[in-house]
Amino acid sequence: MIVRTLLVLAVIFSGLVAVVTRGREALGEVLRTTTMNDLTDGRFAQKIDKAIFGAVPRSGTLDGLVSGLQYRILGDAGPQVRAGCGDWLYTMEELRAERHDRDNMALRGELLQRLVRAIKQSGARLIIVPVPDKADEVEDKLCGGITAAQSRLRDQFWTELARIEGALVVDLRNDWPKPGYWKTDTHWDQSGARFAANQIARTMAGAFEPGQDTVKLVEGAMRRRTGDLARLSGLTDAPPVLAPAPEHERELKLDIARSGGLLDDTPEPSVILAGSSFSLNSGFSEYLQASLAREVAQVSQPGGGFAGALLEMLEKRPASLAKATAVVWEWPMRSLVSPPSEAEKNFMRQTR
């Protein structure tokens, strides 16, 4: 407590000096734009604090210190991250409402139908895995009067999913293992990843032959992980006393004894995983292969959004797709309202 107090006093003092010498313009802007409501609900003090923090001379160490103090004192994790309670962080993508959200979601509904047809024409079966919003599944940690209202608006898309023919849809919302997400990361944690893998395997069990590979999941030591939201907030450089507590995950490795004969004769995996960064996090791919008892080809993309990996596979890997029996298509629900990518626009034009 003494250390924290001294840190606060030191930065506030340096901030005051910096405001006098460097931050007059920022302080003047605060005074010009302050309303009576700001004075009565406490926002004026927050604006002054931000002006002080913003005027502190910058370096890696000071930036981390400022980010940590803003987080601990103001509950401010930056413009792209929402600070909940108990060191829970959320991406603002899940909470923000934009003017074109409904239009983007309608476009994704049409894109969904066309992608299902395209994969069906290739001869593979599509398994659709929408990933629930972290804000929806861990809503009780949002705090501050914020709710997952935008997530529930996106749930309307399940009506589109119910109309799908020729594909399997995996609903992860039922029996989700709370919390199932990392505190300082957008992605599911290892319990969420394992649950998703098991649900996919159960869904596929009635539609596909059982896997014949011997897949052994080997758990290793615990290792420290850095959450993407902590990085985005600048909190990875903050002093430990000001930053969220570090999180840890277990190392995972797969030992696969393939059923296809000699190594040189082993065929390509018949299941392809075409997902977003969720498919690349928390051992999801390893859990999925263990649950299916078969090797899975990984073509997922970080930042792939709704259909980035699937569209790239259709365009650049048609031969691999032709040999596949199943494609697991994972995407986060928040991607439904993202602006359409160039690849999505091109696919829509080509499939008119």
Q: What is the 3-state secondary structure (H, E, C) of 142-162?
A: CCCCCCCHHHHHHHHHHHHHH
Q: Closest Cα to residue 105, out of 35, 28, 161, 49? A: 161
Instruction: Say how far apart CA 104 and CA 116 lie, in whole Å.
Output: 18
The residue extents of the domains of the chain are 2-94, 101-350
Would you state the pLDDT for residue 43?
63
Average pLDDT over the chain reads: 87
State the residue for tokens 């302050």.
34
Find, among 206, 180, 213, the residue nearest to 292 by Cα: 213
Q: How far is CA 227 from the centre of its chain?
A: 10
Residue at token pair 């420290």: 224
Most distant CA pair in the chain, distance? 77
DSSP, collapsed to helix, strand or coil, labels residue 266 as coil
Nearest-10 crossing angle of helices 342-350, 308-316: 50
DSSP state of 341: P
- Is the pLDDT score of 167 beyond 90? yes
Instruction: Quick: pLDDT tens for 300-341.
Output: 999 999 999 999 999 988 888 889 999 999 999 999 999 999
pTM: 0.82
Strands (E), 105-233: 125-131, 167-169, 214-225
Query: Which of 77, 98, 78 shows the shortest CA–CA distance to 244?
Result: 77
Structure tokens at 349: 């034009």
Task: Quickly tell me which residue has 């994790």 as its tokens.
Answer: 77
**Stretch among 25-34, 136-145, 296-305 having the lowest mean pLDDT:** 25-34
For the record, the structure tokens of 72 come out as: 């601990």
pLDDT given at position 289: 96
Between the alpha carbon of residue 3 and those of residues 6, 8, 160, 239, 298, the distances in Å are 5, 9, 55, 11, 47
Mean pLDDT of 226-231: 96
Please check whether residue 327 is in contact with residue 302, taking contact to mean a CB–CB distance below 8 angstroms: no
> What's the CA gap between 103 and 93, in Å, rounded?
16
Asked if residue 225 lies in contact with residue 249, where contact means CB atoms within 8 angstroms, the answer is yes
Amino acid 4: pLDDT = 47
Model confidence over 94-117: pLDDT tens digits?
A: 999 999 999 999 999 999 999 999
H helix or E strand, kind and range, residue 331: strand 326-332
CA angle centred on 125, ends 348 and 278, rounded to 5°: 75
Beta bridge partners, 271, equal 296, 326
The residue whose two tokens read 């505190």 is 183
Number of residues assigned to the chain: 352
Give residue 256's pLDDT band: very low, low, confident or very high (50, 70, 90).
confident
* Confidence category of residue 210, pLDDT binned at 50, 70, 90: confident
Task: Name the percent of the chain in helix, strand, coil, to the closest 5.
Answer: 50, 15, 35
Q: Which residues make Cβ contacts (< 8 Å) with residue 5, sequence separation at least 6? A: none
Among 319, 335, 322, 327, residue whose Cα is nearest residue 299: 327
Output the pLDDT for position 298. Answer: 96
Peptide bond into 179 cis (omega under 30): yes
How much is the average pLDDT of 77-92?
A: 96
